[in-house]
Amino acid sequence: MSQPAASTGAQLVLDVLADEGVEIVFGYPGGANMPLYDALYGNPIEHVLTRHEAAAAFAAGGYARSSGRVGVCFATSGPGATNLVTGLLDAQMDSVPVVAITGQVRTALMGTDGFQEADVTSIMGPVTKRSVCVRDVRDLERVVRAAFRVARGPRPGPVLVDIPSDILKAKCPPMDPFAARPVPATPEYPDDAALDETIALLRAAQRPVAIVGGGARSANAVYLFRELTAMLELPHTATINGLGCATPGDPRFLGMLGMHGWKAANLAVNSADVLLALGMRFDDRVTGKPDRFARNAKIVHADVDASEFGKIVPISVALRGDLRQTLERLVRRLGRDKMPSFAGWAAEAKALGGALPADRAPHGELSATDVLDAFFAVAPDDTIVSTDVGQHQMWAAQRQRAIHPRNFITSAGLGSMGFGLPAAIGAQFAHPDRTVVAVCGDGGFQMSMSELATLRRHQLPVKILLIDNQRLGMVRQWQELFYERRYSHTDLSDNPDFVTIASGYGIRAERVEDAGELRDAIERFLGTKEPALLHCACFPAENVWPLIPPGATVDDAMEGAPQPEAIVA
C-alpha cells in the first residue's frame, strides 16, 4: 500500500480550513506567511486581498456577523499581525466568531528581535478568546481545529493561531479526513428550578419588559424570542446588537435601548417590575448609572456566559445556558400554563415615548436624519446595513428596519471607526445577491477608504452611503454639550472631494446636498448593480437625540437643543 504524499504545514492549514467549511479568507501577504500564500496559489479557497490588515479583520468580522459562519483572516508577522488587533478586539467585544492566522518569524529567530518579529500571542492575549503559537508541525492540525471550535462557542469570539514560517514549510503527513476528532460540547441549559422561578416572576409581574441582545443572534434563538414576546404580548426592546430580533412591525417593540435609545424603551425599562434580559450584557451604554438602572425590577438574566451574571447589575435569577435551549424550555413551559397577557401594559409602554426628536438646519440644508429616513424608506426589506461608528451609527440604529439581527451589523461594543466599509465587504461576500450598504461618516470612511480598491477589483456591489457633516460629529456633539463648545480637533471641513476619490478608484459616485434631490439620488444609488457611493453633504450641527448623558439615567435624558448652533468653519 502506497503512503500518502507528504504535505507541508501551510498546505495542512488550508486543508483543515476547507474541512472546517471555510470558502473565503480575507488577508494580506508578507514575508513570514509567504508559505501560506504559496499554498493558496491555485487553491479553491477564495482569498480577498484587502488593502490593510485591519480591513481584513473587519471584513472577516462582517462576513461572520452577517452569515453566522466563522470569518477567517490572514496576516504576516510583526506589523501585519499587530494591524489585526482592533478587528479582533471588535470581534471579542461583540462575540463574533473569527479565526486569525498569522505568520511568525522562523522559530530560530523568535526572541531575537528579528525583522518583523512581534510577540503576537502576548499582544493578542487580551483581545482574543485564545491566542496560540504553534511550534511543532505535529500540533498544527489539532490547534487549527481547536481554534474553530473555540471561536464558534459556546460564546463565540476570535481565536488567533500564530505559525512560524519554518512550521508552515515543514513536511508533515497530509490531513486524514476520516480521523476521529473532538466534537463540540453539548449545549447547556438552565435547571428546572431557575425556569420555575422565572415563570413565577412573570406570573406575578405587572410591568415586565424583555431586553434582547446579540446572544439571541449567536444562539439562533431569534424565532423563539419572537414566539415568547408574542405569547405573552410582552413589550420588548433591544440592545444595538439585538436590533432585528423583534418581529418586524411588532407594535410591542419599543425600539433600541440605551444612551441614544428610544424614549419609550428607556422609560419602560425604568418602570419595569420584571426584566427578562436575554443574551445581553448590560453595557454601560445601556444601563447608564448601574445603581439607578431599572431600580424597581427583578432581573432574570439568561446568558451562555456565567461571568456576565451580576457583573454590572444585581440579578434575581440566572438562566445559564445556550439561549436557544433556554428559550425552548421557557416557551414550552409557558405554553402549558395559563399566563397573564401583558397587552395592556405593552400599549401603555409604547405610549411612554413619541417620535424621535431631530435637529433641523436653519436654512434648510440637508440633514443626516432626513437622509437616513429616506434611505430606510427606499431600501429593500432584506438589505444588510453595516455602519461605521459615530452619530450616523446611532441615527441608523434608531431608524433601521432590520428584519433579522444579521441584517444590521455594527461595531457595538468596541465602537471602532473604520469598521463600516470592510465589514460591508465581508457581508457582501457572504451574501452576493443581497443589497449591502455601508453607512459611513466622513471620519470613519477616511480610516478605510482604501478598501474602495477591494470593491473595484471584485466589482463588489457594496453601496456606500456617506453622511458627510464635515465633523467628527459625535465628539463635536459632546464638546458642544459637555465641554463648553470647545471644539478641539473635530473639524473636518477640509475633507477631500469624495466623489473624485471614488471616481479615481473607478467607483460610481454622486453628491447630493439638496433635500429635494434626495429621494431620486437614493433610488439611483440603490438601483445600480455596481459598487456606488452617495456623498450626502449634511449640515454640521445636527445632534443625536435623545441622549442620556454618560453615567446618568433616563430621568436625565436630553431631547434636543431647539436651535442648532451656527458653526463657524
Partner 1 sequence: MTLSLVMHDWRLLERIVGLTNRLGCAYTRVDVHAGESHYHATIDFVGPPDALRRLDAQLSRLLNDDKEMSR
Q: CB 182 → partner 1: shortest distance, Å?
A: 4
Considering only residues 311 through 330, tell me which ones interact with partner 1, judged by CB under 8 A.
311
Q: CB 179 → partner 1: shortest distance, Å?
A: 14
Candidates 41-49, 129-137, 199-207, 220-228; binding stretch for partner 1 (CB under 8 A): 129-137
The one among 44, 182, 249, 516 contacting partner 1 by CB under 8 A: 182
Enclosing H/E stretch for 154:
none
Q: CB 176 → partner 1: shortest distance, Å?
A: 17
Q: CB 357 → partner 1: shortest distance, Å?
A: 37
Tell me how many residues contact partner 1 (CB under 8 A).
23
Query: Which distant-in-sequence residues (6+ apart) come within 8 Å of 235 by Cβ?
Result: 208, 209, 210, 252, 253, 254, 268, 342, 345, 346, 349, 350
Considering only residues 281 through 310, tell me which ones interact with partner 1, judged by CB under 8 A.
305-307, 309-310
Identify which of residues 28 and 309 has a Cβ nearer to partner 1 in the complex: 309
The one among 79, 111, 126, 251 contacting partner 1 by CB under 8 A: 126
Query: Which distant-in-sequence residues (6+ apart) come within 8 Å of 208 by Cβ?
Result: 201, 202, 232, 234, 235, 272, 273, 274, 275, 276, 342, 345
Does 566 contact partner 1 by CB under 8 A?
Answer: no
Identify which of residues 119 and 273 has a Cβ nearer to partner 1 in the complex: 119
At which residue does the C-alpha cell 471614488 appear?
502
At which residue does the C-alpha cell 481584513 appear?
56
Q: CB 81 → partner 1: shortest distance, Å?
A: 17
Query: In 3D, which of 457, 378, 461, 466 has the Cα closest to residue 420?
Result: 466
Q: CB 154 → partner 1: shortest distance, Å?
A: 9
Beta strands 208-212 and 298-303 are: unpaired
Identify which of residues 86 and 128 has a Cβ nearer to partner 1 in the complex: 128
CA count, 13 A, side-chain hemisphere, 444: 31
Q: CB 25 → partner 1: shortest distance, Å?
A: 21
Does 177 contact partner 1 by CB under 8 A?
Answer: no
- Residues of 344-365 as b/e, b for ≥16 C-beta within 10 angstroms? ebbeebbebbeebbbbebeeeb
Candidates 147-155, 201-209, 458-466, 516-524; binding stretch for partner 1 (CB under 8 A): 147-155
Whole-angstrom distance, CA of residue 64 vs CA of residue 57: 11
Identify which of residues 121 and 198 has a Cβ nearer to partner 1 in the complex: 121
N-term to C-term CA, the chain: 79
Whole-angstrom distance, CA of residue 257 vs CA of residue 212: 10
The one among 137, 143, 518, 538 contacting partner 1 by CB under 8 A: 143
Q: Supply 430's cell numbers.
A: 457572504
Neighbours of 22 (CB within 10 A): 18
Q: CB 158 → partner 1: shortest distance, Å?
A: 11
Does 132 contact partner 1 by CB under 8 A?
Answer: yes
Cβ burial of 201 (10 Å; 0-12, 13-18, 19+) is buried
Whole-angstrom distance, CA of residue 374 vs CA of residue 381: 14
Q: In degrees rounded to 5, what are phi and psi of residue 162?
A: -105, 125
Does 92 contact partner 1 by CB under 8 A?
Answer: no
Candidates 80-88, 127-135, 186-194, 478-486; binding stretch for partner 1 (CB under 8 A): 127-135
Query: In 3D, which of 466, 518, 474 has the Cα closest to residue 495?
Result: 466
Identify which of residues 189 and 342 has a Cβ nearer to partner 1 in the complex: 189
Q: In degrees rounded to 5, what are phi and psi of residue 462?
A: -65, 140
Identify which of residues 4 and 125 has a Cβ nearer to partner 1 in the complex: 125
Whole-angstrom distance, CA of residue 85 vs CA of residue 158: 11
| SS3 of the chain: helix, strand, coil, percent, to 5 | 40, 15, 40
Q: CB 167 → partner 1: shortest distance, Å?
A: 17
The one among 150, 267, 346, 536 contacting partner 1 by CB under 8 A: 150
Candidates 74-82, 143-151, 335-343, 511-519; binding stretch for partner 1 (CB under 8 A): 143-151
Q: CB 289 → partner 1: shortest distance, Å?
A: 16
Query: In 3D, which of 29, 118, 110 has the Cα closest to residue 75?
Result: 29
Candidates 57-65, 144-152, 261-269, 528-536; binding stretch for partner 1 (CB under 8 A): 144-152
Does 185 contact partner 1 by CB under 8 A?
Answer: yes
Q: CB 305 → partner 1: shortest distance, Å?
A: 6
Q: CB 277 → partner 1: shortest distance, Å?
A: 17
Q: CB 88 → partner 1: shortest distance, Å?
A: 14
Whole-angstrom distance, CA of residue 534 vs CA of residue 525: 7
Candidates 30-38, 74-82, 117-125, 482-490; binding stretch for partner 1 (CB under 8 A): 117-125
Cβ burial of 51 (10 Å; 0-12, 13-18, 19+) is middle
Considering only residues 515 through 554, tell me which ones interact with partner 1, judged by CB under 8 A.
none
Does 186 contact partner 1 by CB under 8 A?
Answer: no
Whole-angstrom distance, CA of residue 103 vs CA of residue 97: 20
At which residue does the C-alpha cell 528579528 appear?
114
Does 125 contact partner 1 by CB under 8 A?
Answer: yes
Does 102 contact partner 1 by CB under 8 A?
Answer: no
Does 149 contact partner 1 by CB under 8 A?
Answer: yes
Candidates 78-86, 140-148, 418-426, 540-548; binding stretch for partner 1 (CB under 8 A): 140-148
Q: CB 411 → partner 1: shortest distance, Å?
A: 21
Identify which of residues 185 and 193 has a Cβ nearer to partner 1 in the complex: 185
Whole-angstrom distance, CA of residue 527 vs CA of residue 523: 6
What DSSP line would sit under 19-32, residue for residue?
HTT--EEEE---ST
Q: Which residues bind partner 1 (CB under 8 A)?
A: 121-122, 125-126, 129-130, 132, 142-143, 146-147, 149-150, 155, 159, 182, 185, 305-307, 309-311
